[in-house]
Structure 1
């Protein structure tokens, strides 16, 4: 007898813009714009992926780029934001930090500023609905672009920095972590730090503990996207724990990309037992076929977390978030109520 994970209040801190899209939406947008999608996004879905090597990552990126190309105009961007907020709320998510690189949509929308403004405006709009999660935005730079581009995005993020729905609440660094030199992105993160933004780079999924150590020491982040491979070196795991950094752990992503062979291998228990704050995330549900509630189900069914453990993970997601104080307080109270209710 267990409590439904969909009813457990959560914050979702690791969700990429295009990767959040419903597959049916991507198909509809592709038809609307006269685009042909790869078979893995149409008849042979969800795709079988692995990023253990460069070829595997190329296939993942090719599918992601094909889906992103179907998002072409203002209505499309608004639809992605709106549906992400509605889908998250249906799974118990109260607060969503949606990560977007406006560079991807700038050419068709007049630049990075109007592209970001569209996302922020729709985030404000959908957050006012009772059936949607409230949405803050993380502006993310790409490791495959020049670090000067990251500084441009950091300055843009700083201009729209704020608290609450429809504001930029964080600055990230994503894409293939085997590319780029992490230390060269530190100046961009310093711009974001001065603006009061959460610093949330990716590290430690495709690369091992050294990548996490470099990220911690050069960027001094608030959270690290993934970070799971810090468990491979006790010294790095201690560094993460002592730094007070939260890890955004995405079990579905880890398995789909071949980082671990099965859900049971994801080292969530080792991270939690070391006292490191954790926020579970879905990363890219469009390509991995698993959403936020599925990550909690995996923690329960494959990794041995009981309902008290799931509630602790949910609390950690809010405590690591930039959700408004009143949203956090209400959610933490409701997490306690979920745990106090009889299992059914």
Structure 2
């Protein structure tokens, strides 16, 4: 028998590749793309190829050893100069489904908000020196007026003494940089920098310690009623500016109370939710007044607490979640447990209260889906990795991170069959040392298996990936298969797998499709 011709072989080869790629979620739409979508995808692929040769090359004098999808903190300044990023910055992103509220506003904006309030005070455990500045964690919080300090600078304060934040900044030691040095010092403890991520804290345990410390500082600034509302409004504003049209944000209710305007730690969670609802209502009214009501379709809260409590203590938070759902049925979207999975309690530790929580919902006629963090780990068979099994058995609507999911073929099959979307946070995973770069991230494995994915920013105030444009960029440049049509499907799925009801979801998807076609027309025009 004569061998097949090269043409026959190439035909079989193309069919083979196409058959495997047909598993991807965007594949079913490829034959029904509008002309604008097809042209825009071609334009973006060409720009990516051109920039891979001209920007992501060792010939770059300012940054040796560069490549597409490299370490984000090192490459961010280069990313924002690319044509590709500027295109994606205008893309309608759909929903942001995995975000922690206490890390959603630029930290310099947060510090500026705090400096407007004389109630804020700051203290340090020891005197500040140039050598100790980077390792001395500030504690910031509002204080009642009767406890305001008369001290004028941190230099005048003994260890642990409170100093008014405004005075501490104005009179910060000139040898340490004066007021600007003060800002840099506080901001440094609210963020992770490249030296920490890729040098001094390059193991998962070490970087998580630094990561947790950023929240310790931020919580004292955010948990103040006069800050809470404008902080949320700023979060909504910047998200809308980045093309995000719907939000499900995780709020940590572990503190139980926040500080009121008088500086007392007495404001209960129901007031937090009420202010969130007010901020949402005011944002939507502002957009309506501008004739832009179709760009934003709301925000809801995923009630969260940290996986550090005893099962009995967890009962209290689950009961509070039920009560808040009854009072704010349209705002409370789900329940989650957060925190470092490798070192804190796994889901199985809370199995009794979690099962009772489901039963209580049935009794009360409520629907509060679990939306669990699970598999945010390098482990294989560790308790953090096994969280994936418990999350699915407990009926999780989505999986937060799911980094280790790619090690579990049966679980991936179940996620695809049941429509369990994965909230993937690629830049967060890279900075928290689960992967060294985007080409090594498991996201393409999940996408290639046809599992729905929502791209998320996780904690952008800490990582510097504000909005979603950076995460979309990193995903796009790290794969030759992924194109603009893939990103469009991810954005579409972020709305499809949200907790919006059918009517609201339909409206949000229709509005997104309209914006998407307009965006594709603009991108397609770049190739003419």
Change (3 A) 1:321 1:217: closer
User: Which whole-Å CA distance do the structure 2 matches of 1:158 and 1:297 have between them?
Assistant: 38
Superposed CA offset, 1:103-157 (max 9, x none)? 3361524333323333333233323331774211111121112334443333333
- With over 3 angstroms needed to count, the CA separation of the structure-2 counterparts of 1:331 and 1:232, relative to structure 1, is same
Preserved CA contact (<8 Å) 2:453 2:493: yes
Task: Name the residue aligned to 2:18.
Answer: none
Where do 5+ consecutive residues of structure 2 fail to align? 1-42, 45-83, 124-136, 139-183, 259-264
- 40 and 219 in structure 1: CA distance in 2 versus 1, 3 angstrom threshold: farther
CA drift at 1:191: 5.8
Contact 1:73 1:109 in 2 (8 A): no
Corresponding position of 2:98: 14
Are residues 1:35 and 2:122 paired? Answer: yes
Structure 2 SS opposite 1:247: strand
Structure 1: unaligned runs, 5 residues or longer: none
Structure 1: distance between partners of 2:310 and 2:509: 37
Equivalent positions of 1:1-344 (< 5 A) are: 1-2=43-44, 4-5=87-88, 6-31=90-115, 32=117, 33-35=120-122, 41-42=186-187, 46-47=192-193, 48-49=196-197, 52-104=203-255, 106-107=257-258, 108-130=265-287, 133=296, 134-161=298-325, 167-178=331-342, 179-186=344-351, 187-188=353-354, 190=358, 194=362, 195-208=366-379, 210-291=385-466, 292-304=468-480, 305-323=482-500, 324-325=504-505, 326-339=507-520, 342-343=523-524, 344=526
TM-score normalised according to structure 1 size: 0.88
Kept in 2: contact 1:139–1:153 (CA 8 A): no
Higher Cα Rg, which structure: 2
| 222-231 or 46-55, which deviates more | 46-55
Please report how far the alpha carbon of residue 41 of structure 1 lies from its aligned counterpart in structure 2 after TM superposition: 4.7
Report if aligned partners of 1:277, 1:316 keep a CA contact under 8 Å in 2: yes
CA 46–293 in structure 1, closer or farther in 2 if over 3 Å, else same: same
Distance change in 2, residues 1:217/1:296 (3 Å): closer
Shift of 1:35: 2.8
Mapped contact 1:13–1:321 kept (Cα < 8 A): yes
Worse-matched range after superposition: 274-283 or 296-305 = 296-305
* Inter-CA distance 17–154: structure 2 relative to 1 (3 Å threshold): same
List per-residue Cα deviations over 1:198-238 (Å, max 9, x = no partner): 32110111254533433334422000110021112323333
CA-based RMSD: 2.9
After superposition, the C-alpha distances for 1:142-178 in whole angstroms (9 at most, x for unaligned) are: 111233444333333333438x996111211111112
SS at structure 2 position matched to 1:95: strand
Aligned counterparts of 2:458 and 2:484: Cα–Cα separation in 1: 23
Partner of 2:129: none
Distance 1:41 1:166, change over 3 A: farther
- Report the alpha carbon displacement of residue 329 of structure 1 after superposing the two structures with TM: 2.9
Count, aligned residues:
344
